[in-house]
Every structure is written in C-alpha cells, then in structure tokens.
C-alpha cells in the first residue's frame, strides 16, 4: 500500500488523502451523531416525566390515606392515566404492583436497560427508573416506567438521514476538490513538466502563457533563467574549440617557461653547492660570470672587485659570444672607479639598481653594445667585496623582477661565502699565531718545570747535608765519649738524633709531595688533635726554654688533606710563635683552636708574643722578609713557603696582629672530608 502511494501521481495522492480524511469524518459522524441525538431526546423525555410525577406526588402527599398501600395505589393510578406511559412497576413491603399485567411481566421489566430505547413487539418504548420521595409516608418509592418512545425513535431516524446527506455532500465536495486540484495544480504541473522535458530535449523557447499561482510563476521564471544559461552555455561550447586552442598554446608557453625556470633554478642550486667547495675568490668570480650568462637569463655579466676604496674590473662574459667577451675584457682591463663617484654612492646593500646609464657605457658603446643593466653590490655585514653588473640586450624590455630576485640571492650568498673565506683565513692565521705562542709557552713551561725540579733537588741536598752532618756528629760523640757520657747527655743525644732523622724524613716527604702532579692522590684523613699533640712534643724543648704554656682545643675537627705538608705548615707556625716570644719567666702562651663553618675548616694559632707592626703585616708572606733579626738566624722564607704550600692545597692563610700584644694566624682549608661524605 505504501509503495503504491509512493508511485502514485500527485493528483491521485491528493484524492487518496482527501478520501481517507472525508471517510474518517463521515464514519465518525455516522456512528456518533445519531447516538448523541437519541441520548439528548431520552434525557428530555425523562425530565418531562419526572416533572409530571413530581407534580402528582405534591398533589396526593397532602391527601389523607388509611395506609401506605392506598397511597401507593393512588400514585400508580395517576401515572397509569398519563397517555404516554406504557407500563409502571414498583415494589413496597414485599408487595409488587405492575400495570398492565396482561402485556408485561416483572422479569421482562427488570431485565430492560434503564434510560434506553427498546423495541417491544416492534413498538418503541423508553425504560426509566424514577425514585419518588415521600417523606411524610413511606420514604422513597422506586418506579420502573415504560414511556412511549415514538418521538425519540423518529428523531433518531431523522439524525441518521441527516448523516446520509452529510456523506453525500462530502462525496460531492471530494469530487469538486479533485476537479479544482486537477485544474489548478495537476494540469499546470504536467504542462510545466512537459516544458522542462522540451527544454531538456534542446528546445530553448517556452510557451509565453503561464498558469496562475505564485509558485508556477516562480518556476517559469527559473525555467527561463535556465534556458538563458543553456543559451550562454551553447555559445560557450561553440567557442570552446578556439578557447581550448588558445589555452593549449598558453599552456605550452607556460610549460616552456616553467621548464626553463626549473632548469635555471637547478643550475643555480648546483652552482651554490659547488660554491661551498671553492676557497679561491678569483675562481669564485669566474664561476659566477659563467653561471649568470650560461644558465641564467642574462646576456651580459661584468664583475668588479672592491679594493683600496676603488672598484676594479675583473671579469666579463657575453652569452654565446666568446669573441665579444674577449673584446670587452680587453676594453675594460685596468678600468677603475673611485668611491666618491655618484655611481658608487648610489649602490645600496641588497637593493639592485636597474638602469641604462653606467660609467663604462662609452667603452661598451664602442663595441655597439646597448642594454638594460642590473647592478648589485656583493657584500656581507657592511663589508663590500665587489659589484655584479648584468644586462639584457633588449632595449625595449627591462630585466624581469624575478631575475633580479635571483640575482639578490646569488649576490648575498656569494658575499657571505667570501666573508667566510676571509674569516677562515683570519682564523687560520690567528690559530697559527696562537699555536706558535703556545709552543713557546710550552717550551718555557717545560724549562721552568725542569728548573723547579733541579731547584728542589738542590734544596733537598742543601737541607739534608747539615742534618746528615748533625747525625754524623752525634755518632762521633758516642764513639769517642761513649763510656764517659752521662745518662742525661745520652738521652739528649738520642733526642737530637731522632729529631734530625724525623726532620730529614719530613723534608723528603714534603719534597716528594710537592713534586707530585696530582696532590689529591696523597690526601687522607688527619687526626688534627693527635698531630698537634705530636708537634708540641717535638717542640717541647723550645717551649720549655721560653716558658710557653700551650692550650689545645680538645674537639679539634679532622682534616682530609696531605699529612706531610699540613704537618710542615703547622710545625713552622708553632716554631715561629715560640721563636718570637719575649724572654720572660711566665705569661707566654699559645692557644690552638679550630672551627668548621660554611664548607671550610679554619685552624687558629694565637700567641701573645712581640706582634707585628701594622705597616709590615702585608709583607710578612713575601720571600726573604725578616721583621725581627734579633730573634735568631733565618732567611725569611718560612711564611712564604707556608703560603705557597697552602696554595697547592687550595688553602689560604691570613693574620691579625698588634705590636707588643701578639699575633693570630688563621689557616683555612676546604672541608674536603665533608665533600667526600656528601658524594658517598
């Protein structure tokens, strides 16, 4: 059914939809309207009967009766006398009253549906159930009434006939609508479809008579627009062969230009790749002239180099005319242009100048050469290397813009390459100079190291020689006076020999450590409290001689460093502190303490000796400086050696002093032990 509806014409669809709509309305009207009319008539009849019975009830309610049965019988008699009543029936005190009892029976009446029209023996009867209130007597009396239903039946028949008339009218209206739709829509639509079909077949003219209706007018307007477009398309199709031929010619020309341009760019890329390998500036200019006249769109090319504030002609070439190239070269050989010339001043970096007037125009005119010239400097970072002059022999057309753009690219890259060659040459020259300087420095350093080693050998020999003599002298005294030497002198000789041997061993170890290239390989953890205690034992004789009282901090922080050098540093400091103490019976003191702070360990040696004048404190660490010769012999090298040793250990030393009150030395080391723990 749905497929049939889809394939139906517009007219048939309209008729089908209208028929279904009208049929639905008619069926609804046929079923409901007679029933509604019948119910309305039944309600009217019931209301009329109820009013009559109510009137009778009011009349007889005030009449005296002997008993209730008389009242009921009187009520029924009044109702029986109503002409439209067909039957009446009631029940009271187990008594049943029915009238007429010869035509109707109680079971038949009780089975009839209330408020409905029934046909009994083909006669229409309305069945009602009416309750009559009798408050003064029996309360309520229920009456079953049958009333003549001829009027209701007649009205029902009239309603059905009206429905039949409505259905006939609907059918006629459907026919009228079908005719109107066919006349105003279907036929004009079919005509429009035929017109479109004729246009599709090639007819470019339509009937001027148009049907009424805004939609059809717009459709015919669109159809006219389509016809005009088809006419225009037909005209274009007629001209299409000529257009195709012209476009083919343009395409071939563009293809030729594109191939030519691609070939030119390909050669340009190859030239730029080869340019990176070239390091000779003259060869670069030769290759540039060849590239611009052989593979690029220039008929003429000239190269000028810049030197000594002048432009100098170098090379030239003419496309496919080698003889003319040679003649131009001979004509311009040796030609120069000063920097104050107006032509030179008009040159701007990266901006080509297009002109027909050039300074060497007369020389080229002698060779019958006239051209449009493009002039562009070859530069990089405000450094001018030369000028490129290109030209085309066509005096009517100037140099194309795209060719000038390529010329700018070539000039920029050549300029940068020339600058890189120049910078590379300067760099090589600088490298050669620095290499020679480094070689000289290396030779001097090697000589200095050799001299240092020789000096260390000499110092070691000069230091050990007196000590060996002391050991030999002690042995000689023992051999000569062995039996007569007292126990105290023997102990003192043993102590002298032990101290001398320790001194020789310390000198040997310190010199070996100083000669070591990687001093950190000799580092170890040093118990500084034990080391100071040992140094004080070795200096006990000197301390007793000066009556010096030494205070040593108990919780001395350990140090991770070279033991021999640190030992040598502090024995020199303590020896100096003791040496420069005044001779007094008591009161001389030396305090040794230390502190760990901010990644450093500082050891403090404080004395109350003679002190150092403020003006001389800045020279005490210089070699061969002695501030108090009266306090013993010496060369003034002690503090200088201490500072040098601390420098090797990445340590430092400074002092505070007040003349006559004493001196405080601060020896600071990096907390290498702390770093080692952090790394672990």
pLDDT value of position 631: 52
DSSP letter at 384 equals: E
Pairing of strands 662-670, 600-607: antiparallel
pLDDT value of position 590: 95
Q: At what angle do helices 214-275 and 187-201 cross, to 10 degrees?
A: 40
| Comma-separated ranges of CATH 3.30.450.40 domains in the chain | 264-431
As a whole number of angstroms, the distance between CA 343 and CA 104 comes to 144
In the structure encoding, which two tokens stand for residue 180, read together? 């109107």
Instruction: Please say whether the beta carbons of 567 and 530 come within 8 A.
Output: no
DSSP line for 8-26: S-HHHHHHHHHHHHHHHHH
Instruction: Please say whether the beta carbons of 72 and 97 come within 8 A.
Output: yes
Instruction: Write the pLDDT tens digit of every residue in 306-328.
Output: 888 888 998 889 988 888 888 88
Burial class (CB in 10 A: 0-12, 13-18, 19+), 304: buried
Which 3 state secondary structure label does DSSP give 347? coil
Which 3 state secondary structure label does DSSP give 637? coil
In the structure encoding, which two tokens stand for residue 74, read together? 């009187």
- The residue behind tokens 């303590």 is 574
Q: Which CATH number, 3.40.50.720, 3.40.640.10, 3.30.565.10, 3.80.30.20, labels domain 522-679? A: 3.30.565.10
Which 3 state secondary structure label does DSSP give 620? coil
pLDDT value of position 594: 96
The residue ranges of the chain whose pLDDT is under 50 are 634, 674, 676-680
DSSP line for 435-477: HHHHHHHHHHHHHHHHHHHHHHHHHHHHHHHHHHHHHHHHHHH
Burial class (CB in 10 A: 0-12, 13-18, 19+), 331: middle
Which 3 state secondary structure label does DSSP give 606? strand
At the second CATH level, the architecture of 9-170 is 2-Layer Sandwich (3.30)
To the question of domain 264-431 being in CATH 3.30.450.40, the answer is yes
Instruction: Please say whether the beta carbons of 526 and 560 come within 8 A.
Output: yes
| Comma-separated ranges of CATH 3.30.565.10 domains in the chain | 522-679
Half-sphere exposure of 429 (CA within 13 A, CB side): 6
Q: At what angle do helices 281-294 and 214-275 cross, to 10 degrees?
A: 140
As a whole number of angstroms, the distance between CA 498 and CA 519 comes to 28
In the structure encoding, which two tokens stand for residue 83, read together? 């002409």
Radius of gyration for the chain, computed over Cα atoms and rounded to the nearest angstrom: 70
As a whole number of angstroms, the distance between CA 498 and CA 546 comes to 22
pLDDT value of position 591: 96
Give the pTM. 0.38
In the structure encoding, which two tokens stand for residue 188, read together? 């004009």
DSSP letter at 633 equals: -
Cα 127 to Cα 53, 104, 378, 544: the distances in Å are 15, 13, 127, 157
Q: At what angle do helices 68-80 and 10-61 cross, to 10 degrees?
A: 130
Residue 192 φ then ψ, to 5°: -65, -40
pLDDT value of position 206: 67
Instruction: Write the pLDDT tens digit of every residue in 223-255.
Output: 777 777 777 787 788 888 888 888 888 888 888
Instruction: Please say whether the beta carbons of 594 and 604 come within 8 A.
Output: yes
């Amino acid at each position: 059914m749905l497929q049939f509806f889809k394939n139906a014409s517009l007219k048939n669809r309209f008729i089908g939809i209208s028929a279904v709509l009208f049929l639905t309305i008619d069926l609804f009207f046929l079923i409901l309207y007679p029933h509604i009319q019948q119910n309305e008539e039944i309600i009217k009849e019931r209301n009329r009967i109820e009013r009559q019975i109510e009137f009778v009830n009011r009349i007889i309610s005030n009449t005296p009766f002997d008993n209730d049965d008389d009242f009921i019988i009187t009520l029924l008699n009044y109702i029986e006398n109503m002409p439209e009543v067909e039957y009446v029936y009631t029940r009271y005190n187990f008594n049943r009253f029915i009238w007429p009892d010869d035509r109707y029976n109680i079971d038949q009446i009780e089975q009839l549906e209330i408020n409905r029209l029934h046909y009994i023996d083909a006669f229409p009867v309305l069945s009602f159930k009416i309750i009559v209130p009798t408050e003064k007597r029996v309360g309520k009396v229920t009456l079953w009434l049958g009333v003549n239903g001829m009027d209701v039946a007649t009205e029902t028949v009239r309603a059905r006939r009206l429905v039949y008339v409505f259905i006939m009218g609907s059918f006629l209206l459907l026919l009228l609508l079908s005719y109107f739709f066919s006349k105003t829509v279907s036929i004009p639509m079919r005509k429009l479809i035929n017109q479109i079909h004729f246009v599709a077949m090639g007819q470019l003219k339509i009937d001027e008579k148009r049907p009424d209706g805004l939609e059809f007018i717009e459709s015919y307007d669109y159809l006219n627009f389509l016809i005009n477009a088809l006419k225009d398309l037909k005209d274009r199709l007629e001209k299409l062969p000529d257009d195709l031929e012209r476009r083919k010619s343009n395409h071939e020309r563009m293809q030729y230009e594109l191939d030519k341009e691609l070939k030119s760019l390909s050669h340009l890329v190859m030239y730029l790749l080869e340019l990176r390998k070239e390091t000779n500036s003259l060869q670069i200019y030769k290759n540039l002239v060849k590239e611009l006249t052989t593979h690029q769109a220039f008929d003429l090319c000239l190269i000028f180099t810049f030197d000594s504030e002048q432009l100098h002609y170098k090379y030239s070439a003419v496309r496919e005319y080698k003889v003319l190239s040679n003649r131009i070269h001979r004509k311009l050989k040796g030609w120069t242009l000063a920097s104050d010339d107006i032509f030179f001043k008009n040159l701007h970096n990266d901006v080509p100048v297009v002109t027909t007037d050039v300074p060497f125009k007369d020389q080229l005119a002698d060779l019958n050469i006239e051209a449009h010239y493009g002039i562009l400097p070859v530069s990089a970072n405000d450094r001018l290397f030369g000028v490129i002059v290109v030209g085309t022999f066509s005096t009517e057309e100037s140099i194309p813009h795209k060719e000038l753009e390529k010329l700018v690219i070539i000039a920029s890259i050549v300029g940068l390459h020339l600058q890189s060659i120049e910078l590379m040459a300067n760099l090589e020259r600088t490298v050669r100079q620095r290499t020679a300087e480094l070689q000289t420095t290396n030779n001097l350093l090697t000589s200095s190291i050799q001299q240092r080693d020789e000096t260390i050998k000499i110092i070691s020999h000069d230091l050990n020689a007196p000590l060996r003599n002391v050991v030999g002298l002690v042995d000689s005294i023992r051999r000569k006076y062995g039996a007569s030497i007292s126990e105290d002198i023997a102990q003192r000789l043993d102590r002298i020999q032990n101290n001398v041997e320790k001194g020789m061993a310390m000198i040997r170890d310190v010199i070996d450590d100083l000669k070591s290239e990687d001093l950190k390989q000799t580092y170890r953890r040093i118990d500084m409290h034990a080391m100071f205690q040992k140094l004080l034992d070795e200096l006990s004789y000197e301390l007793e001689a000066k009556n010096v009282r030494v205070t040593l901090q108990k919780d001395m922080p350990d140090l991770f460093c070279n033991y021999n050098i640190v030992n040598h540093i502090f024995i020199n400091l303590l020896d100096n502190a003791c040496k420069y103490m005044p001779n007094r019976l008591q009161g001389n003191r030396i305090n040794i303490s230390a502190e760990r702070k901010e990644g450093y360990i500082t050891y403090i040696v404080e004395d109350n000796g003679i002190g150092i004048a403020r003006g001389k404190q800045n020279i005490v660490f210089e070699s061969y400086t002695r501030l108090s010769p009266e306090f013993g012999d010496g060369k003034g090298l002690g503090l200088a050696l201490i500072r040098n040793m601390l420098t090797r250990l990445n340590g430092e030393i400074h002092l505070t002093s007040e003349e006559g009150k004493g001196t405080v030395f601060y020896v600071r080391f990096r907390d290498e032990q702390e770093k080692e723990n952090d790394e672990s």
